[in-house]
């Protein structure tokens, strides 16, 4: 396993660790403050590895068809895990989670379909944009959790932030649908181009 794929793999390990730690206060009795000190660095690490795997893949010339599939799969795995945790806590509206879940499952199917036709679908600008929106929304949720855990803001402030946060999640859902359409159009063009050749 090269270093780029190693960072991708650690993101997949960190994701289930995130959701387990997130629910520790409910089942083990660890304080929410302690959990925040663990969750925030873990979340930052998860997102930073997304930069590191791409950086080292390009720098060390380790870009591969496997990496092009493994990296977005790890992104989906990590983001859906975090979104699930926040959906169960009421931050992510259920319809938003379903839209994003279905989008990601359909993209995975499309990638497998493309692979079967000898086409590798790498990350596109629209996909990267929706991922950034996922990260912003999730990071904002963690900020809200931090403010609540340490009583750093009035309830009226955090309630308003939660409403804004849900709006960001809706934007992320719309961007995810838009990027899926972009991938679908790109795949159809690739299939047509291949059939002509």
> Which residue, among 157, 172, 165, has the nearest Cα to 140 in the 3D structure?
165
* pTM for this prediction: 0.90
pLDDT in tens, 103-155: 999 998 888 888 877 777 766 777 889 989 999 999 999 999 999 999 999 99
Number of domains in the chain: 1
**Which residues, 6 or more positions from 141, have their beta carbon under 8 angstroms from its beta carbon?**
86, 91, 92, 165
Percentage of the chain exceeding pLDDT 70: 96
CATH code (residue 82)? 1.20.120.1760
What residue numbers bound the domain in which 84 lies?
Answer: 3-196
pLDDT in tens, 55-106: 888 888 888 777 777 888 898 899 999 999 999 999 999 999 999 999 999 9
């Amino acid at each position: 396993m090269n270093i780029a794929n190693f960072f991708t793999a650690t993101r997949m390990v960190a994701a289930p660790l995130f959701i387990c730690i997130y629910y520790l206060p409910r089942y083990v009795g660890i304080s929410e403050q302690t959990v925040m000190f663990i969750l925030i660095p873990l979340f930052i690490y998860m997102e930073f590895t997304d930069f590191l795997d791409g950086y080292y893949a390009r720098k060390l010339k380790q870009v591969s068809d496997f990496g092009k599939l493994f990296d977005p799969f790890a992104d989906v795995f990590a983001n859906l895990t975090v979104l699930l945790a926040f959906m169960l806590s009421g931050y992510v509206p259920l319809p938003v989670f379903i839209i994003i879940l279905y989008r990601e499952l359909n993209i995975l199917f499309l990638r497998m379909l493309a692979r079967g036709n000898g086409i590798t679908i790498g990350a596109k600008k629209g996909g990267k944009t929706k991922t950034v929106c996922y990260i912003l929304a999730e990071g904002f949720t963690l900020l809200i959790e931090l403010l609540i855990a340490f009583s750093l803001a009035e309830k009226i402030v955090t309630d308003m932030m939660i409403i804004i946060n849900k709006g960001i999640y809706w934007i992320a859902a719309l961007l995810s649908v838009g990027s899926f359409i972009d991938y679908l159009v790109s795949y159809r063009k690739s299939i047509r181009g291949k059939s002509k050749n």
